[in-house]
Homo-oligomer: A and B are copies of this chain.
Amino acid sequence: MRDVAALAGVSLKTVSRVVNREAGVSPDVTARVERAVAQLGYRHNLAASNLRRAHGRSAMVGAVLQDVSNSFSASLLRSLEDEARDRDVAIVASSLDEEPERERSIVESLVRRRVDGLLLVPATERQDYLADDLRNGLPVVFVDRRPQGVDTDSVTVDNGLGARLAVDHLVAHGHRRIAMVGDMPTIQTARARLEGYRSALRHAGVEPDPDLAAMSVRSSDDAVAAVYRLLDLDDPPTAIFAARNSLAVGAIRALHQRGLAGRVALVGFDDFPLADIVDPPLTVVRQNVRTIGAEVAKRLFARIDGDTSAPHHVVLTPELVVRGSGEIRP
């Protein structure tokens, strides 16, 4: 900037004015400065500008997701980005792979970078560590899981209801031996889905069989193994509720490998791009990611713009998408 000023024969402040398109600079000075900018390849430094101007705001938001390469996280990121683009806000994306320590270190590093707000899909049990930053006015919107130990905005779906939709559907198609494959019960959503599964069974007059609830299943490969074990039981299930999309994928693989695709009913939780063309087409409980993403972006930017109302907790309703795999009879 100093060089531009020298070359154009003006002061620093005048270059600043031209670069920021402030009114009140004569046309010929403007032209001279612009020529110098082009000639020297000068680039305005946003970090310095924000330091001086915006009292440390950075025009960035952080997205702290489970794994940017899974379709749920990626779609969420994309929704947020679409909203952010209009405001010239950049998005810093991180994956935490369900690891609590990583969550804390990522959040710490984003706060150091003075992001203007945070989208957070937490892996920690409690988020008391955020209390200071929240008090200092950092906008944080939780997604998929409710905050524990602090109170701030959240956008979640009713996981218990979703699980009940799935199980009710299977019951309505004549099933009694219904298994569940779920993630670690320490994860809030996994726990809520397990509860929903049990309560739907009881409601149907079926006492939940602990042998049929395969929990702590983490990956698609784990799900294959878990489904094998379920199928090897003396009294195997006639239907499976797979409580996360990658677990449903594992379940499909396992059924294929056992030659049981189309014989054992299957309902997944979370839709994914190709669920309609797998074999058989997968019936799922869908949470509308676009809606979630839009809601999150709306809350986050409202807070950034100064909304100080009480925390909003938006709970969206999942819906059942019938495609075939869930309508197989025992």
Contacts and interface: CB of A to CB of B under 8 A. Distances in A.
Scoring A51, A249, A273 by chain B CB atoms within 10 A of each residue's CB, the highest score goes to A273
A112 interface: yes
Question: Closest 9 interchain pairs by CB?
Answer: A279-B279, A69-B78, A41-B132, A74-B74, A46-B112, A69-B74, A93-B93, A274-B274, A90-B92
A121 to B, nearest CB: 15
A305 interface: no
Contact of A56 (B45, B67, B111, B252): B45
Interface in A56-91: 56, 58, 60, 67-71, 73-75, 77-78, 81, 88, 90-91
A44 interface: yes
Given A277-B279, A278-B278, 20 more contacts: A45-B114, A46-B112, A47-B56, A47-B58, A60-B92, A60-B113, A68-B74, A69-B78, A70-B74, A88-B109, A90-B94, A90-B110, A93-B93, A252-B277, A272-B274, A273-B274, A274-B274, A274-B278, A278-B279, A279-B280
Contacts of A50: 47
A247 B131 CA distance: 47
Nearest to A84: B94
Interface in A111-164: 111-114, 132-133, 135-136
A95 interface: yes
A194 to B, nearest CB: 25
A262 to B, nearest CB: 10
A113 B47 contact: yes
18 contacts: A41-B135, A43-B111, A44-B112, A47-B47, A47-B113, A48-B51, A67-B78, A68-B93, A69-B71, A69-B77, A70-B74, A77-B93, A88-B109, A90-B113, A91-B92, A91-B94, A253-B277, A278-B279
Scoring A71, A91, A136, A277 by chain B CB atoms within 10 A of each residue's CB, the highest score goes to A277
Nearest to A112: B46
A276 interface: yes
Nearest to A108: B43
A109 to B, nearest CB: 7
A256 interface: yes
A273 to B, nearest CB: 7
A10 B299 CA distance: 41
Contacts of A56: 45, 47-48
Contacts of A111: 43
A263 to B, nearest CB: 15
B93 A81 contact: yes
B58 A68 contact: no
Nearest to A246: B273
A48 to B, nearest CB: 6
B45 A112 contact: yes
A79 to B, nearest CB: 8
A276 B274 CA distance: 11
